[in-house]
């Protein structure tokens, strides 16, 4: 198609007169307002591009030589020597090594910003050609100049290269800690679209949480689908007047809080179920405090209104005492009377959920690689490990390469809550996926990558972070960290859970605790209850960076071990002054760090391969737990009691494991039931066959 002289000049970023001169060189005479044929235009472009490329190559040569001279000057600073240019062979040594990342379909992945040199290397095109293309698009650039993705994409397209923008992804550290908060916060507003709200139902065990969920599923899932659900996947979606709502079918605040403790926020709205004939129970109050700490809106479903003894006003009064003032009493908490048995009030409850969700303006970006949260996992016969995940952002697709904590793979199949195979899932959609190598934890993040190669690298990054942690546990906001932040003024609020032996004592302790403050920090009681310290208390403490104080109550060994695992501080008192004094010390950053010892495994010595005054090489069996590199050990040996004549196990000495190996291969740890070898660092110990090593680690 013919083109005008002016348009051709504009394309080549030259003057119209230059186009006419080039035409004359080709033995064609054209006027300023004439049209140029395709053949002549192509020849003129060759001439012009040839000159541009030569000029660009000349400029690049000058720039490289300038870099060489500057580098040589740095090395010979202060010395009066003549500077000679390096031979051309050294230019290659200076060239930047740029990794070319491609998706599985061959598309080249480009970052948000990159230099001209990096672009040329990634798309495998000569730098002069890239510079010419930039100039044709009105950009005069040098090799080191930054350009944005949009500009790079235009150049690549004109050169016939398929590219796409690199999606913002979680770092290995964020995957390790299951933290997506900043990533979701940084999404560009123009990319966001409305998504369904995600609802958790909480409350006392017998107040009808499951009954309400069952009624909603049976009445709101499309006819023929509810009855066809053959397997439970931990969540489902209902359609309310054209709008989808996602319900987590894992009732109870414990599961909800486990996800929060792992760093995930999978819930937008909490429905608190309270039986109208029983009122608030301790578990109801726990659920309220868990939802408050998560900073999500609460809707109260006053259930069982059809039963004798139902007293709605009494329930509302109890809610007001917990700072949940009902809307019809002038407050902000919606309270909906319902009956899971008859269905009364269920439609109004769902309408209220829609209203509350709309006020939050819930949005996500469906047009990016997906990130999801694991809400359930299980081993299925004939299938292997499966996980139910909730899509947080992006669109999850069958065949996507993924990383979940330190494992990676490809999504083999996806099923929706009806058990039907689907190819993709939008934000707020729950799906069950396969293709995993092991069961993930509730709250783990699923990060979709551009390729299996990238996913494998990301999983290795997470694994390396995990191994750096001495106990291989997921790091938490520990008491020591809390103390440090309070002392540095980076934390102004110390959250406290109070448990006591009676309601009167609980109220008194709560009041005293909240009086403790310093010039820089203060305390806040996030939950108070009567009875022993429970698993729910520990998980709330873990999720909210909180300490637990018990007054005249103790924590069982099981709870203490859980608290140790979750890095939650538990303190027990029977004198109020001692309690307030301890909290004041924490606020001032005076709490002394204590060493916590954890036994990780046992090893039975079967052979001594080498031994001297400082080192020994042993062989034997891991009889329980794990053998870990750099663990400490206690050496126990059966010896004869001279008085009784019985054989008794006695502690002989302590030492440290320098390395562990299976065969000739060194490793970080070896599991129970495995035969292995280990190198021991010690000071003059003598080992014997049959010795038992108790392995332990110590942390602050």
Q: What does the alpha-carbon distance between residue 529 and residue 634 come to, in Å, rounded to a whole number?
A: 41
How much is the pLDDT for 83? Answer: 42
pLDDT, tens digit, 9 for 90 and up, residues 379-388: 888 888 999 9
Structure pTM? 0.58
Distance of CA 692 to the CA centre of its chain: 40
* Cβ atoms < 10 Å from Cβ of 124: 10
pLDDT on residue 540? 82
CB 428 within 8 A of CB 370: no
C-alpha dihedral sign at 339, 342, 343, 348:
negative
pLDDT of residue 66: 64
Q: What b/e sequence results for 518-550 when a residue is b if at least 16 CB atoms lie within 10 Å of its CB, and e otherwise?
A: eeebebebbbbbbeebbbbbbbbbbbbbbbbbb
CATH of domain 597-699: 2.40.30.10
Q: What is the DSSP letter of 137?
A: T
Separation CA 83–CA 26 (nearest Å)? 46
Q: Return the pLDDT at 128.
A: 77
Q: Report residue 53's pLDDT band, with 50, 70 and 90 as the boundaries.
A: low
Q: How far apart are CA 88 and CA 521, in angstroms?
A: 64
Q: Which pLDDT tens digit goes with each residue over 212-257?
A: 888 888 876 644 444 444 345 678 888 888 899 999 876 555 556 6
Mean pLDDT over 509-527 rounds to 85
pLDDT at 464 over 90: no
| Phi, psi of 326, deg, nearest 5 | -60, 150
Distance CA 355, CA 349 (A): 10
Show Cβ contacts of residue 181 under 8 Å, excluding neighbours closer than 6 positions.
265
> For residue 4, what is the enclosing H or E element?
strand 3-4
Provide the H-helix boundaries in 469-573: 479-488, 503-515, 535-544, 557-566
| Residue pair 667/679 in contact by the 8 Å Cβ criterion | no
User: For the segment 500-517, what is each residue's pLDDT rounded down to a tens digit?
Assistant: 988 888 888 888 888 888
More confident residue, 80 or 631: 631
Greater pLDDT, 699 or 289: 289
Tokens 């996992």 belong to residue: 377
CA distance 473 to 104: 33
Query: Which of 237-246, 249-258, 282-291, 582-591 tops mean pLDDT?
Result: 237-246
Spatial separation of the C-alpha atoms in residues 118 and 62, rounded to whole Å: 19
How far apart are alpha carbons 661 and 82 in whole angstroms?
Answer: 57
Percent of the chain having pLDDT more than 70? 77
Residue 654 pairs in a beta bridge with: 634
Q: In CATH, what class is 196-361?
A: alpha beta
Domain parsing of the chain, residue ranges: 196-361, 479-594, 597-699
Strand pairing category for 163-165 and 108-110:
parallel
Phi, psi (degrees; rounded to nearest 5) at 494: -105, 115
- 64 versus 659: which is more confidently predicted? 659
Q: Are 491 and 544 in contact (CB under 8 A)?
A: no
Q: Which helix (H) or strand (E) holds 59?
A: helix 38-75
Q: Select the highest-mean-pLDDT range: 47-51, 57-61, 138-142.
A: 138-142
245-276: per-residue pLDDT in tens?
Answer: 999 876 555 556 666 555 456 788 989 999 99
CATH topology identical between 196-361 and 479-594: yes
How is residue 349 written in tokens? 């409850």
| Domain 479-594, architecture per CATH | 3-Layer(aba) Sandwich (3.40)
pLDDT over 70 (residue 329): yes
Higher pLDDT: 394 or 699? It is: 394
pLDDT of residue 691: 93
Cβ contact 552:501 at 8 Å:
yes
Q: Environment class of residue 627 by beta-carbon count within 10 Å: exposed (0-12), middle (13-18) or buried (19+)?
A: buried
pLDDT at 518: 82
Confidence of residue 696 (pLDDT cuts 50, 70, 90): confident
Query: What's the confidence (pLDDT) of residue 466?
Result: 58
Please, are residues 197 and 329 in contact by the beta-carbon 8 Å criterion?
no
């Amino acid at each position: 198609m013919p083109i005008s002289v002016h348009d051709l000049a504009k394309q080549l970023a030259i003057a119209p007169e230059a186009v006419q001169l080039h035409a004359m060189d080709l033995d064609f005479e054209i006027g300023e307002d004439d049209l140029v044929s395709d053949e002549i235009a192509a020849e003129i472009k060759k001439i012009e591009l040839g000159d541009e490329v030569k000029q660009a190559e000349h400029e690049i040569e000058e720039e490289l030589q300038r870099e060489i001279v500057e580098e040589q000057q740095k090395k010979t600073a202060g010395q009066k020597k003549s500077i000679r240019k390096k031979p051309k062979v050294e230019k290659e040594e200076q060239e930047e090594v740029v990794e070319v990342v491609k998706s599985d379909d061959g598309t080249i992945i480009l970052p948000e910003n990159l230099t001209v040199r990096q672009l040329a290397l990634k798309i495998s095109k000569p730098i002069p050609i890239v510079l010419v293309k930039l100039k044709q698009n009105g950009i005069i650039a040098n090799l080191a100049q930054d350009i944005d993705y949009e500009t790079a994409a235009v150049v690549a397209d004109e050169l016939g290269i398929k590219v796409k923008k690199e999606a913002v992804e979680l770092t290995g550290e964020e995957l390790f800690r299951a933290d997506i908060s900043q990533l979701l916060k940084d999404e560009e507003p123009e990319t966001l679209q409305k998504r369904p709200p995600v609802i958790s139902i909480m409350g006392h065990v017998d107040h009808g949480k499951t009954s309400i969920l069952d009624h909603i599923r049976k009445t709101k899932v499309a006819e023929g689908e509810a009855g066809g659900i053959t397997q439970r996947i931990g969540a489902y979606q209902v359609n309310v007047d054209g709008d989808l709502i996602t319900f987590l079918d894992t009732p109870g605040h414990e599961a909800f809080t486990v996800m929060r403790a792992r760093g995930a926020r999978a819930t937008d709205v909490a429905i608190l179920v309270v039986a109208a004939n029983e009122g608030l129970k301790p578990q109801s109050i726990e659920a309220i405090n868990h939802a408050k700490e998560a900073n999500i809106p609460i809707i109260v479903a006053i259930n069982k209104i059809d039963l004798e003894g139902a007293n709605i006003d009494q329930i509302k009064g109890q809610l007001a005492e917990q700072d949940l003032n009902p809307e019809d009493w002038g407050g902000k908490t919606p309270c909906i009377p319902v009956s899971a048995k008859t269905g009364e009030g269920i439609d109004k409850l769902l309408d209220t959920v829609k209203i509350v969700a709309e006020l939050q303006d819930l949005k996500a970006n469906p047009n990016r690689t997906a990130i999801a949260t694991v809400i359930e996992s299980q081993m299925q016969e004939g299938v292997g490990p499966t996980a139910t995940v909730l899509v947080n952002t992006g669109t999850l697709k069958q065949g996507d390469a993924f990383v979940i904590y330190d494992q990676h793979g490809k999504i083999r199949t996806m099923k929706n809550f009806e058990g039907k195979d689907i190819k993709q899932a939008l934000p707020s959609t729950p799906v069950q996926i396969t293709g995993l190598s092991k069961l993930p934890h509730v709250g783990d993040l699923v990060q979709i990558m551009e390729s299996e190669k990238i996913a494998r690298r990301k999983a290795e990054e997470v694994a390396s972070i995990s191994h750096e942690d001495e106990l291989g546990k997921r790091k938490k906001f520990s008491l020591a960290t809390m103390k440090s932040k309070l002392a540095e003024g980076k934390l102004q609020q110390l959250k406290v859970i109070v448990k006591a032996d009676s309601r009167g004592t609980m109220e008194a302790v709560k009041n005293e605790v909240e009086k403790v403050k310093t010039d820089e920090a203060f305390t806040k009681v996030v939950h108070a209850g009567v009875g022993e310290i429970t698993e729910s208390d520990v998980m709330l403490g873990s999720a909210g960076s909180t300490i637990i104080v018990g007054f005249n109550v103790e924590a069982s060994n099981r709870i203490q071990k859980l608290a140790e695992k979750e890095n939650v501080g538990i303190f027990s008192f029977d004198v109020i002054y001692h309690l307030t004094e301890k909290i004041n010390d924490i606020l001032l950053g005076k709490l002394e760090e204590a060493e916590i010892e954890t036994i990780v495994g046992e090893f039975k010595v079967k052979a001594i391969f080498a031994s001297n005054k400082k080192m020994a090489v042993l062989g034997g069996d891991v009889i329980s737990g794990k053998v870990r590199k750099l663990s400490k050990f206690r050496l126990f040996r059966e010896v004869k009691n001279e008085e009784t004549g019985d054989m008794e196990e006695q502690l002989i000495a302590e030492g440290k494991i320098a390395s562990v190996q299976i065969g000739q291969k060194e490793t970080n740890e070896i599991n129970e039931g495995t035969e292995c070898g280990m190198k021991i660092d010690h000071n003059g110990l003598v080992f014997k066959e049959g010795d038992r090593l108790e392995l332990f680690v110590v942390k602050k």
